[in-house]
Amino acid sequence: MINNSSFQKWFRLKQKDLDQQFLHQIIRGCSCSSFEAKAIQATVYNVYSPFFDNASAVKTGQVLLTIVSTDCHPGESLENASVVTVKLTLYDASEDLNIRKEVGVVGLRQHRIQRVCLEAFQQGGLLTVEDLSHRLFNCGQRTICRDLKALRRNDIYPPLRSTVKDMGRTITHRKKIVRQWLLGDEYELIAKKTFHSVGSVRNYVSKFKRTVTLMQQDYDVFTIAFLVNISSSLVEEYQMLFQLSDTVQHRKQELDDLLKKTSSKNH
């Protein structure tokens, strides 16, 4: 009978020996104090522990990748950004072959994009187009952009840093959020569908309602953009959306009530 507790004991002893060896070499090699050496050791554990702890949990077809954390502010440079190490599935034997047979190579890549983006998001990280093209799929960024455009045509919006954090010129996700609200979805459901926080969804809808209210009061595009603190192009997107969307009755009533309330305050 194998004594597992004995194995664990010897492993712990060996680890302690390695810790002491590391501290000894740091103290000698860097001419630092024991306190400083232990601080360096703690930093090494914090940075590399995902590789040590998760190495045995990584399955065939999976990779570990360090990416920007969801906590990172949009305006923060990548050099100073907080990062997390996530486990991503590049190849899943249980489904990838069948998907390739059904929809081909391009369809499989688009399926994998959805999978890795969702996996990263669920583990507290956000992938970028550069991550997808250069670090995961070894293809051009234009290829990834075409795939993302195709997915959006099918109402699929993988959680990327550019969309979740509202970076760049991506405003399609805002239209999607507002459109779902106009069709009657509540904030919690919209947030779940679009991988946004409830607070972000509420903020987008609030700005849309303010835009519509000012539009019905005959303010011009640039004035509305200034008052609502959004771009003029987004104002035009919201105007078009309001005019063309098949809005449910209770949303129409909510917008009408807001307009009446705003008009009464102005008078």
pTM above the 0.95 mark? no
Q: Classify residue 202 as exposed, middle or buried by CB count within 10 Å of its CB (0-12, 13-18, 19+).
A: middle
Share of the chain above pLDDT 70, in %: 83
Over residues 92-147, the pLDDT tens digits come to 988 898 999 999 999 999 999 999 998 888 888 889 899 999 999 999 999 999 99
Q: What does the DSSP assignment read for 176-209?
A: HHHHHHHTT--HHHHHHHHT--HHHHHHHHHHHH
CA 188 to chain centre: 17
